[in-house]
Amino acid sequence: MLKHVLHPIHPDGRKFVAIFVVVTLALFLLWQPLGWLGVIASAWCIYFFRDPPRVTPQRAGLVVAPADGLVVSVGPGTPPAELELGDQPLTKIGIFLNVFDVHINRMPIAGTVERTRYHKGQFLNASFDKASELNERMAIRLTTTEGASIGVVQIAGLVARRIVCEAKADGRYETGERFGLIRFGSRTDLYLPAGWSVQVAVGQRMVGGETIVADAHSTEPQRQGIIR
C-alpha cells in the first residue's frame, strides 16, 4: 500500500525540500506556531516534487499525455516559430498544471529529438490560451519512429519561474520517458499532425505518461465530453 502513497522526489526538488526544512527549523526557534506552518509548507514541497511511476500504453501510433493536469484547449493552432513546423495550423492540445499536480514532463511518443529552443517571455496565467504565445517556454521538436514531426512545449505560468528540460538534440526517447519538469504551476502544449485522431476533450484530467490523448492510426472522430 505504501508504494502507492510514498513516491520518490525528483532530484531537482531536493534542494528546495532542504531549504523548506531548514526554514521550518528556524521558525520553530522563533515561534512554535510559525514552525507548524513551515511543516505544512515543507510537506507541500515534498508533495509537489513527487515523481510517481506510471504505466505507459505500448502500441505504435499512441500519443500519451506529456503532463498531469487539465485539458484546457483542443483544436487547430499554429506552432511556435522556433519549432520550424511551418505556419499551417496543427492539432493543438493544451494541458494546464496547477500547484498540486505532478510536474514531471514525459515524452508523448517514441522518437528522436530534432531540436530544442528556449524562448524568453512573460509569466501570464498558464490556463489562458494566450500563454502559449506570450509566456516563457521551451519548445521541443520530436520526430517519431514513423517519421512524423510533432511539437512539445513546456510553458512557464503565473507562479512557475523555472523550466527544467533534460531533452537533448539527437537524443532517442521512448513513450512516457521523463524529460523534465516545470515549477511551480505551468502548462504543456502538444502540436500534432492535423490528421491524427484526438482522444480527449476539454475539461478532462490527464495522467502524464498514461492517458492516451491521440492515435495516429485511428480514424475515430474527435471525442466530445460532458460534465456529469
Q: Where does the pLDDT of residue 1 fall: very low under 50, low under 70, confident under 90, or very high at 90 and above?
A: low
**Residue 149 annotated to the active site:** no
- Which one is predicted more confidently, 67 or 224? 67
Domain ranges of the chain: 2-48, 62-215
Interatomic CA distance for residues 89 and 81, integer angstroms: 12
Interatomic CA distance for residues 21 and 39, integer angstroms: 8
Catalytic site residue from 149, 186, 197, 218: 186
Residue at grid coordinates 493552432: 77
Beta bridge partners of residue 105, listed in sequence order: 180
Residue 189: C-alpha distances to residues 32, 124, 197 (Å) = 43, 15, 16
Write out the three cell numbers for 11.
532530484
Q: Where does the pLDDT of residue 227 fall: very low under 50, low under 70, confident under 90, or very high at 90 and above?
A: confident
- Residue 197: φ, ψ to 5°: -75, 120
Q: How far does Cα 91 stand from its chain's mean position?
A: 17
Strand order across the beta sheet in which 62-64 lies = 62-64, 212-215, 197-198
Residue at grid coordinates 476539454: 202
Specify the pLDDT at position 3. 59
Question: 62-215 has which CATH code?
Answer: 2.70.70
pTM higher than 0.85 for the full model? yes
pLDDT digits (tens, 9 = 90+) for 136-154: 999 999 999 999 999 999 9
Residues 182 and 104 sit within 8 Å (Cβ to Cβ): no
